[in-house]
Structure formats: structure tokens, C-alpha cells
Amino acid sequence: MRTQVVIIGSGPSGLLLGQLLHNAGIDTIILEQKSKDYVLGRIRAGVLEQGAVALIEEAGAGVRMRHEGLVHDGIEIEFGGERHRIDFKALTGKTVTVYGQTEVTHDLMDVREACGAPTVYEALDVSIHDVESNHPKVRWTKSGQPYEIECDFVAGCDGFHGVSRQTFPADKLHTFERVYPFGWLGVLVDKPPVSDELIYVNHERGFALCSMRSTTRSRYYLQCRLDEHVEEWSDDRFWEELLLRLDSQVAARLQTGPSIEKSIAPLRSFVAEPMRRGRLFLAGDAAHIVPPTGAKGLNLAASDIAYLSRALIGFYKSSSTAGLDSYSQTALARIWKAERFSWWMTQALHTFPESSGFDRKIQKAELEYLFNSRAAQTALAENYVGLPY
């Protein structure tokens, strides 16, 4: 078997890359370790920058997003029992769109199936070979049967634990990481959101976030200890704790109910450099992780795919290697800016167990400065709606 580009991973980044390349007449195959139902069952965030929205539209997967996505002009940040609004549209002229990552994945799967491009689900024991040559190979097994395909390029879109980054020799890969001393306990509930926009809460009991997936489905988060387990958190306990962290007006609007999903996610910042080895390119979570505070995970994956798809299209259309040669450097420049912003949001809004009195005073001063400075609000807004690419 042979194709032009093998894409490992059928999350949003792999599917988006596959569709952009297909639209440009480039042959691809996507290999996914899990089943289609498993991929669609993963609950992820869904705040999209305008750049990500434009790419999804370019891929031909934006019809449902246009009808069901919720356009937000800003966010609110609560501190000291008071809420302060950051008006993205007034400060930058841009907005964000709330549309669940699961829905993005579903839409991209649908357009790929409609065009007949191949995806192999439950592809096990995937391995990548000869990436330093002009003819890499990828091997896998399916239902006990071995397969091998030759290609021009391999795109590793298989997440933090995938095989693609592990293909890099240890002495050729540099990693940078910070693990935060807390997690997010998230609950999904079929109740209307408490607000038309996201509310971020800095509270002495810990961070909280009021978010949504639609006008009838809400997502709430609480900062929790890393050693806690979901089983320790009944729905009643979750709602009681959330109410303690919200101001009285928001608390009065909160509609509670039985959770339809509940999970604890640890927070980490992680970057791997470089994002290229020969003809293997990393994208998305395979190369970087951000804490969810700045809503950058899916959006960073989208910017990686913008750079990588343009580079590959340039290679096939004009035999230019310029985009491929600069891919890692170009992507990493934007990644580190998003890492900085996500780190800053996490530092500003969470309660750190090791914080001294000095640290807490600095956090208070940081937020007070933000609420009283248009320049500071503009900097937050520019980063939240997404830097250009």
C-alpha cells in the first residue's frame, strides 16, 4: 500500500489536517488506535478562536457550527465577590465561539466519510519507520492482521501518549514541563448555563469556572486536590461546593441537576522541541499540553494544522520545502506564547497550596491591576481570542 500522507490520530487535529489536504487533492489515510465511538465519547472543552473557526470552515465542516455555535464577545472574572467583564469585541474587534470539541470531531468525521477518504479505526501496534528517508513506512495490526503502508510524510496527531513523539530519539528531543499541584473536577449537566458568557472565579476555597456546551447544557469546574477521586464527589457535594465559590447573584441563577459526566483532569504545561524529525511532524497534544484555563488546547492544535497543511500543500503544488523546513520553528513561536498565557491565567486564578502571604498579595495586585487597566485587559483579550497565524 502507498499514500502521500499518513496521519496518526483521528482527533480534531488529525481529521482537520486530513480534510484540508484532501481538499487540495492530496491522498491521506488516518490511523486511529481507538474505536470511532470511543473517540466521539471523549468530553473536551470547546472555546474556538476565530482562526480555528475559519479552518473548520475551510475544511468544509462548519455548517452545524454556524447554526449551533455560541458567539461570545467576552468573559467575566470574579474576584473578592465581584465580577468584572473583559469585553473582547470592544478591546480587539474579535470574538470566540463556544462549540464542543466532540461536535467538531463529529463534523470532521462526517465530511471525511462523505468524501470517501480512508480512516482505519482500532489500528493497533502502530509503529513508524524510516522517517529520515524519503519513503517512511507505517505498520499496524487490525483484527490480528499486519499491515504496512509507504508514504511521503507522517503527521503525528496522536496525543500526549501516542507513538509519534516516542519515535524521536531521546537525545534529539527536548521537553519542558510544569505539573500543577491541583486538578479540575468537571461536571456536565443538562441545564441552561448560569450566564451567557463564561465566568472564571478566583476564590479562597479554590478556582471555579461556569461554562457551557449549548443553551441547554452546562459545564462546571472546581479546583480540587490531585489525590481526590471522582467517587468522593457526589452531585450534591459538587453543587454545594460550587455555590460556596460563586457570588450571590450567580448562585441564585444556578440550576442544578444530575450530572451526565463527571471527571477529574490534572493540569500541566508541556512542550516538546523540535516538532519535526525527518519526514515525521508532530501536531497538537503530541507536541504540547496547556492547562485549560486559557482555552488554548484545541486552538493550538488548529494553528499547528494551519502551518503544517500549508507546508504540505506548498510541497505538492510547487515542490517547495520552505514551509516544511520552518514548520517547527514557526509553530513553536506561537505555542510558547499560548503556554505563557495559559500559565498566567492559571497563576492568577487558582489557589496554590504552597502560596505564601506575599504570593497571595501579588495575585491580588495582579487582578486589581487587570480590572483597572484597559491595556492589561487588551493584552488578556488579544491572547484569549487568539494571536494571528
* The three-state (H, E, C) secondary structure of 11-44, written as one string: CHHHHHHHHHHHHCCCCEEEECCCCHHHHHHCCC
Q: Is 252 helix (H, G, I), strand (E, B) or coil?
A: helix
Amino acid 46: pLDDT? 87
* CA atoms of 94 and 276, how far apart (whole Å): 32
* CA atoms of 240 and 180, how far apart (whole Å): 25
Amino acid 336: pLDDT? 98
Amino acid 116: pLDDT? 95
- pLDDT tens-place values along the chain, 389 residues long: 999 999 999 999 999 999 999 999 999 999 999 999 999 887 677 899 999 999 999 999 999 999 999 999 999 999 999 999 999 999 999 999 999 999 999 999 999 999 999 999 999 999 999 999 999 999 999 999 999 999 999 999 999 999 999 999 999 999 999 999 999 999 999 999 999 999 999 999 999 999 999 999 999 999 999 999 999 999 999 999 999 999 999 999 999 999 999 999 999 999 999 999 999 999 999 999 999 999 999 999 999 999 999 999 999 999 999 999 999 999 999 999 999 999 999 999 999 999 999 999 999 999 999 999 999 999 999 999 999 99
CATH of the domain spanning 5-72+92-177+268-346? 3.50.50.60
What backbone torsions phi and psi does residue 64 show, to the nearest 5 degrees? -70, -35
Amino acid 45: pLDDT? 73
- Domain residue ranges of the chain, discontinuous segments joined by +: 5-72+92-177+268-346, 181-267+361-385
Task: Report the candidate in 11, 8, 13 with the shortest Cα–Cα distance to residue 28.
Answer: 8
Grid coordinates representing 227? 489525590
Please name the residue ranges forming H helices in 209-351.
235-245, 248-253, 297-318, 322-349
Q: How many CB atoms lie within 10 A of CB 382?
A: 16
Q: What's the count of helices (H) and strands (E) in the chain, helices before strands?
A: 13, 20
* CA atoms of 233 and 246, how far apart (whole Å): 18
Strands 153-156 and 124-129: unpaired
Amino acid 180: pLDDT? 97
Fold of 181-267+361-385: D-Amino Acid Oxidase; Chain A, domain 2 (3.30.9)
Q: How many CB atoms lie within 10 A of CB 13?
A: 29
Please name the residue ranges forming H helices in 70-160.
88-92, 101-115
* CA atoms of 353 and 337, how far apart (whole Å): 26
* CA atoms of 228 and 185, how far apart (whole Å): 9
Task: Report the candidate in 77, 49, 81, 85 with the shortest Cα–Cα distance to residue 65.
Answer: 49
| pTM, rounded to two decimals | 0.94
Amino acid 1: pLDDT? 92
Catalytic residues, by residue number, are: 72, 200, 292, 296, 384
Please name the residue ranges forming H helices in the chain.
12-23, 36-41, 50-58, 63-68, 88-92, 101-115, 163-166, 235-245, 248-253, 297-318, 322-349, 357-372, 374-385
